[in-house]
Amino acid sequence: MDECHFHEKSLELLKSNLTSLLNEQKKFKCSRKCSLNYLQMNCGSRRKKFRSLVRGTFKNLITAEFELQMDSRKSNGRCDDACMTKRTQRKLKKAIKALRKTIKKERFSIRYEGVDYDVIKKSFKPDKQVYKACSSGSVLVGNLCISCSIGTYHDIENSKCLPCPSGTYQDDEGQVKCKQCPSKIADSGMVGASNTKQCIDLCEPGFFSGDGFKPCRSCELGKYQPSYGRTSCMSCGAGIMTRTIASKHFKDCVTRDYCLSGYYYDISVHRCLKCKQGTYQPEPNQNFCLACPSGTTNDFAGSKTSEECKNRRCGGYRGRYQGVIETPNYPGNYPVNVGCTWKIKPEKQRRILIIIPEIHLRAEDKCGDRLVIRKSKSQYSQSTFETCESQEKPIAFTARSKKIWINFKSNGYNTSKGFSIPFVTYHEEYQTLIEDIVRDGRLYSSYQHQQIFKDRKLLNALLEVIAQPYNYLKYANVSHTMFPQSFFRLLTPKVRRFFST
């Protein structure tokens, strides 16, 4: 399993939590004007002295890099923009100093995916330089923040003012997006339009002019133009003619063969060819195919939609105590001829619980698609679970070995949705409690209980409790609105009995 993969949603939640922490505690001097613009987490560290702390242990070392921003107050008669900038820079340096001091005293921890992580003493190394940043709608030019002009918008990600695309306009300065043209026709209107009058001047599809603006001329026979504001038309090629003048698409060209979706017309051989693997075509009678989105490809030639393009990367993530394994492209269908291997080796004295909410495999392929969970790669090693069929009813079980090897493979024929399987590690002292829970048939008998395993929010809450069972009673007191009463009637006596013996 790739232990260095961090879920984007979890990172966003962590970024939000850190922002709240800095703003709410007075010692950080933020006064609710701090925010984290960027957060990147990686496994390991470039610094040797920190790597030595976890060498020979089951602990993970995570390095986080982030950008902290503090907004300035509005300038006034007593303090102009330059004055306010200096004040904000001083306050930001004080906030960084307070954060470093807190970490040095080992009073700072980070909660990620339900687990508290301690920040290593003296590991916080902020950049000595404090950079000036502008508010949304403005960019830094020299030492001044300049608002984006009319006809443009602020591209926040790249910190640039960009012209409004065709079909939009902007008649105000300092905006982060453009307004829709009244016609609401995509691509109509000039690029960089600053008023509604500039929304309707471009030549329409099927027409052209010397500068792309009206008045326009129609495309002649044998030519077509699918876009707005063009200065020429495109030829059908190879002497092929269109049915009428002012044609808009290649499908208006009278070809020898009519191509279905998933095919394209090759004018060099005058026949329809399948779109190659990695491309698709949803429209009939076109002379091109569209490339699959970056990082994806399709199973076979002749694809009709982008939905047939699949991510072949084995999915999942792993936190300190819990994680998930997923088939490639989940929740879409997994690709053909794909193989995935995950390895789970928990910390010392911890065991593994696996929960399978549901599995979707193609049984008619005579076990061509298969999921295997066992101790190691060897086919003779101790097996925990194996299937080549779908199952709708959830199941939970403890691994028969302290570490497990998980393998999924698909053949070259059919595909299905696959699976998203959560797992959690727990201290071995709770082995009898966990087995008492997961082996009780009542846990899976009712529809309400089955839905807990298929609701990821409820399931994550349950996994947090399994990882640290002593928190159950405290957790149960505030979670009765989330889970059905029968669920607590099943679990509570087991937990109380375990901790009272």
Q: Residue 473's pLDDT band (boundaries 50, 70, 90)?
A: low
Answer whether residue 67 is part of any domain: yes
Residue of higher predicted confidence among 205 and 485? 205
User: End of a domain among 85, 118, 151?
Assistant: 118
One domain, residues 377 and 477 = yes
Q: Identify whether residues 91 and 182 lie together within a single domain.
A: no
What integer best gives the mean pLDDT of the chain?
A: 84
Higher-pLDDT residue of 57 and 389 is: 389
Residue 196: predicted pLDDT: 85
Q: How far is CA 182 from CA 154, 191, 213, 302, 485, in A?
A: 22, 15, 18, 39, 54
Q: How confident is the model at residue 188 (pLDDT cuts 50, 70, 90)?
A: low
Residue in 264, 424, 268, 316 with CA at minimum distance from that of residue 10: 316
Average pLDDT over residues 476-480: 55
CATH code for position 148 = 2.10.50
Does residue 213 lie within any of the structural domains?
Answer: no
Same domain flag for 335 and 484:
yes
In the predicted structure, residue 180 carries a pLDDT above the cut 70: yes
Would you say residue 304 lies in a domain?
no
With respect to residue 223, please indicate whether it lies within any of the assigned structural domains. Answer: no
pLDDT band at 483 (very low <50, low <70, confident <90, very high): low
Say yes or no: 342 and 482 in one domain: yes
Distance CA 310, CA 299 (A): 8
- 378 and 422 in a single domain? The answer is yes
Among the residue ranges 233-237, 302-306, 352-356, 468-472, the one predicted with the least confidence is: 468-472
Q: Which domain holds residue 70?
A: 8-118
Q: Is the pLDDT of residue 44 over 90?
A: no
Per-residue pLDDT reduced to its tens digit, 91-129: 888 888 888 888 877 777 777 766 777 788 778 888 777
Q: Is the pLDDT of residue 468 over 80?
A: no
Query: Looking at residue 1, what is its pLDDT?
Result: 36
Out of 199, 230, 248, pick the residue that ends a domain: 199
Domains held by the chain: number: 3
Of 84, 118, 152, which residue sits at a domain end?
118
Q: Of 423 and 52, which is predicted with more confidence?
A: 423
- Give residue 282's pLDDT: 96
| Structure confidence at residue 2 (pLDDT) | 42
Alpha carbons 204 and 190: distance in angstroms, whole number: 12
Same domain, 18 and 143: no
Q: What percent of the chain has pLDDT over 90?
A: 36
pLDDT at 373 over 50: yes
Segment 346-352 shows an average pLDDT of 90
Q: State the amino acid at position 204 in one-letter form.
A: E
Read off the CATH number of the domain in which 423 is found.
Answer: 2.60.120.290
E strand or H helix at 334: none
More confident: 478 or 132: 132
Cβ atoms of 395 and 444 within 8 Å: the answer is yes
What DSSP designation does 407 have? E
Q: Is residue 239 part of a domain?
A: no
